[in-house]
Structure 1
Amino acid sequence: MDEVLQARSHPVDLLAEIEAVEETRDERAAIAIQRRAGSAGALAVELRAQLVLADIRDRRGEIPAAARMVRRIFGQAVELGDRPLLARVHRIMGRVRYELGDRAGWLEETAQAVACLDDDASSVTRGNILTDLANALAVNGDIEGARLRYHAADLAYLAAGRAMNRLTVLNNLAYSEHLAGEPERALAAAIELRDLAAAQRVPLHPTHIETIARAQLGVGRHAEAEETLKSLSPSLDFDQGDTLPVYLVTLAEVQRHRGRLQQAQANLDEAMRACDERELAETRARALAEQAELYAARGDYRQAFELHKTFHAQTAALLGRQRTAQALAQQAMFETTEARREARLFREQALHDPLTGLRNRRFVTDTLPAMIDDAGRTGCPLSVVMLDLDRFKRINDNLSYDAGDRVLVAVAKLLAAAVELPDGRDDGTGEFVARLGGEEFLLVLPGIGEADARLRVEALRSTIRGYDWRPIIGDLPVTASFGILTTTGNVRIEALMSEADRHLHAAKRNGRDRVVSAAVSLGSRDTTLTVPDD
């Protein structure tokens, strides 16, 4: 059923087109896909197209507008329950928060993006998000963590046969090592970047060439750095961002170190013109700093001093403009935070059974795998108890569905009372009880072995049997059958639930109102019962 719904929401042709546009960031194509997806009722694809448009606006520097778009898309994505879309939303919002000066926020968002990745996510999608996570870790000072994620991203792209993406990973790794004050590691990554491009017979992008030269500059290889920068193919087009002026400023710096002051000045002048044409204030400030160094190299210390003052004045002005932009964007960010609060509330509601207030099957599916993994890692037991009310249909048939609902609510309260919460916190990391559907419930007991689980569940069985049900259903009895499985990990959730269900059915077949575990049953009449191997 879920696959059918997904097919209706994501027409194959539109999915293929939006995946291509997410790579190219073609604004006109994104707008066209948005319209077609809206007409087709493919909301997830429509939102992905809108997210591409938000990404484009962000890259243009329209950060407040981009943040507002992402906020709106985030709320709809949560309501839609589309995890791949949510991963993309967190990725873009992380970049927005970084551009607002919130480095920790970038890391938070990218970690959320990773958490939203499904097991069947494509290698390219996984590589993209892992690369962003590595970048965020690097700027937050965790170069070790960044290296691990860059390596994982590289493996993902390798599996997908995406050589260009691998070049991006190596470029970012080299630059991150440079920022971390690791010039030798930066150079090693830069060499690997250059060698991979040669092996794949693909030209290096100007950004890659600038990174390689910067790594060579970091270890004092000025001649090699100049040669690298001058190797740029004339057929390559610079984009309309800051790539050209950044390249020229780095080239001027290298030439200054080599004593080629006249050539350095010519390249710096061209960089200044590009900065003025494109209104690149930050890159222009860096060019001014290099110009001051160039004056000093010529022995013109007065000019260097005057320009250094100009540099600081422009830097202060730039910071002022950035603060203004950040202030304008903070409202959008605040609205995004409010949307998150609403989304968290929505998610909490989506993870609870509306009748009993217990956790639901979706919560079990989201939470239990991690608990199984914890059991495998720590060696602590994990007991899963499946229970079903015996002959519950008689209550609905002989009395009413309202009476049946009241019984379910009462049983839910008894089950909830049997759960032990550390410090009273119901955060999904400790014991919990869930309603799976109908009259079937699940009790999860981490850290509880089979023997202790049997004792607790037998007490719960007696509590349900001995409860005063007469105000609700008169003389009709209410009992429950239980199946327990205890594990120490290394099992899939499907196998765990299936085995617990098998034990539950063994309890039903052997008279109901009893508890069956892997080898022992405790019931109202029998103390020992071997589970059939059906």
Structure 2
Amino acid sequence: MSKPIHNQSTSPRQEQTPQSGENTAQQIGESVDLHSSEAFVAMLDTLELLPYRNVNASVSAVQPALAIAEELGDEALMIRTKLIQADIMARQGKVAEAGRIIRQSNEWAERNGHKHILARSHRLLAGFFRRLGDNESALQHAIISMQQLPDHALLSLRADHLMMIGLTLDEVGAYEDSIKHFNEVLEIATITDDVQLALFALNNMAYSRCEEGKGEEAYRLACELRDIAKRNHVELNASHLDTIAVIELLLGHPEKAEATLAPLVNDPLSRRLGDLSVLPECLLTTAEAQRLQGNLKQAQKTLNEARHMCREQGLSGLMVRVRLQQSEMYAATGDYRRAYEEHKLYHQENEAKRSAEREARARILQITFDAEEARRDSEYFKEMAQRDPLTGLHNRRFMDPYLDELLSQSLISGQPVTAVLIDLDHFKEINDTFSHQVGDTVLVHLAKIMSLTAPSSSALARIGGEEFLAVFKDTDAEQGMLYANRLCQAIRSADWSSITGKMSVTASLGVSTTDGTRITRTELLSIADHNLYEAKRGGRNRVVGCKSVS
């Protein structure tokens, strides 16, 4: 299903009707009556909300607006305009650059007590953190943005802030509170006769109810969505239609879901520019509907088109869902071997996707905050970029240069270094039996065990899905094996019952030690990896090492 749309996509997934943005762009382009502060402020009130409704129109509008703001020489107006530019940049995927502008604007507003800019910067910071998947920070900024919004703010602006609170509440699982805020947006849409805003609110409400599994309530909202569009002669866009189709699937009506998306999927001429980024999701929904009806040949054809579009548009996240659909398709045809192989690829790619997303978030945070004058924030986010977001341990970005430096020092001092690779046994079985969320909990718990068991002088890192690395400086082979066996025993004897029930959790460990002679990081880890393989082959839940590496 298409995620609730509001400051989420990097492309305009819900476009307004043409007149909703192009008039504003044209007015600014012609600079009609805008060279006075009063007229310019009135124009900014409209332009601030334009990126959400029509990002393409806002692109052509913001450049002349920046020139006019500079000509007027009003710092507050310039910053308001730059915030609009940052909003556009974020929607185009330039998240780090946008975050930098938003942070700077927020600090200016704090120093100068400018409530409107303070409210808007917090609102855009909520969007920034939501894009990074940090929903708690997003919710915090969304609430602050509402608190700072001046009482005389336009109703349309109030709706924008309420919508963001609703979306962030939805994503932390506070569905009832989320619905309350969407309802407030819907009330404002009714008062202001804003059909597009009403459609956005209803779509998000239907999505929330669908997430809860409340199919009947979701369907009622979907029908209301359709009725409003029909009464006002407005075409529902791809996101709306996909939401409705997924609700119909939830209720066990795959034939209705296919019919809902048929015009968009079957008629290329009906596809609007703003629909193209959502079309692969619509194709996936359609393929599922066709498969559930037993129309496997057509379902495979639709799935192939979805795969092609995902590759063309670089949608790696959706490609993971294509894998899952393909696995289910093979199972439906009775080809269980290929279904199993495809399902394995799905899990591998899903883990790689999540890892890449965490890496991307760390990079964006580092880029955003490294440019700030506040040294404390900068140093904090540099540290975050070198840590695994799930477990809090260091990551490979930290460990590679650390180990290189440690081996260089070891060559000079003659002191040994021991590396231990730790890999959880049967981790895929944990994910498949329970869920990836339970798997993540196991990884977090393992990181805690390592931190409590390993010496305080050791360096610990998560370097892969279920693979960890412990590095012990000034530690010979005998002491290194002792540390490794303690880790193995601590993992084996921990109480995992509250997480995995009766399923035990163990790990295999491979140890490698250098006695101070020249060796590279790659060579040291390669030996540890070989020993890890031997531990796995020897029955798992054990430690394999060697005396030393010279």
Q: 1:218 to 1:188 in 2, by over 3 A?
A: same
Q: 1:111 aligns with which of 121, 137, 143?
A: 143
Identity within the alignment, %: 33
Q: 1:12 to 1:69 in 2, by over 3 A?
A: closer
Q: 1:267 aligns with which of 295, 302, 306?
A: 302
Q: 1:20 and 1:123 mapped to 2: Cα distance?
A: 12
2:91 counterpart of 1:59: yes
Deviation at 1:338, TM superposition (A): 8.0
Equivalent residue, structure 2, for 1:326: 361
Equivalent residue, structure 2, for 1:50: 82
Q: Specify the code of the residue in structure 1 equivalent to 2:114.
A: D
2:70 counterpart of 1:38: yes
2:40 counterpart of 1:11: yes
2:133 counterpart of 1:70: no
Q: 1:97 aligns with which of 126, 129, 143?
A: 129
2:207 counterpart of 1:175: yes
String of CA shifts for 1:196-236, please: whole Å, max 9, x gaps: 11111100011000000111111111111111111447434
Q: 1:158 to 1:338 in 2, by over 3 A?
A: farther
Do the aligned residues in 1 keep the contact of 2:254 with 2:289 (CA within 8 Å)?
yes
Equivalent residue, structure 2, for 1:286: 321
Deviation at 1:140, TM superposition (A): 1.0
Do the aligned residues in 1 keep the contact of 2:62 with 2:84 (CA within 8 Å)?
yes
Equivalent residue, structure 2, for 1:204: 236
Q: How does 1:127-276 map to 2 (within 5 A)?
A: 127-232=159-264, 234-239=269-274, 242-276=277-311
- Cα RMSD (Å): 2.6
Do the aligned residues in 1 keep the contact of 2:49 with 2:157 (CA within 8 Å)?
no
Q: 1:299 aligns with which of 334, 337, 357?
A: 334
User: Number of residues paired by the alignment?
Assistant: 337
Equivalent residue, structure 2, for 1:122: 154
Q: 1:131 to 1:228 in 2, by over 3 A?
A: same
Deviation at 1:105, TM superposition (A): 1.1
3-state secondary structure, aligned to 1:11:
helix
3-state secondary structure, aligned to 1:141:
coil
Q: 1:15 to 1:69 in 2, by over 3 A?
A: closer
Do the aligned residues in 1 keep the contact of 2:203 with 2:240 (CA within 8 Å)?
yes
Q: 1:241 to 1:327 in 2, by over 3 A?
A: farther
Q: 1:67 to 1:340 in 2, by over 3 A?
A: farther
Equivalent residue, structure 1, for 2:504: none
3-state secondary structure, aligned to 1:259:
coil
Q: 1:132 to 1:19 in 2, by over 3 A?
A: closer
Between structure 1 and structure 2, the one with the greater Rg is: 1
Q: 1:171 and 1:312 mapped to 2: Cα distance?
A: 30
Do the aligned residues in 1 keep the contact of 2:65 with 2:81 (CA within 8 Å)?
yes
Q: Specify the code of the residue in structure 1 equivalent to 2:212.
A: A
Deviation at 1:138, TM superposition (A): 1.1
Q: 1:15 and 1:53 mapped to 2: Cα distance?
A: 12
Q: 1:341 and 1:186 mapped to 2: Cα distance?
A: 46
Q: 1:340 to 1:91 in 2, by over 3 A?
A: farther
Q: 1:152 to 1:291 in 2, by over 3 A?
A: same
3-state secondary structure, aligned to 1:121:
coil
TM-score by length of 1: 0.59
String of CA shifts for 1:248-278, please: whole Å, max 9, x gaps: 1111111111111122112211111111111
String of CA shifts for 1:266-316, please: whole Å, max 9, x gaps: 221111111111111111111111111111111111111111111122112
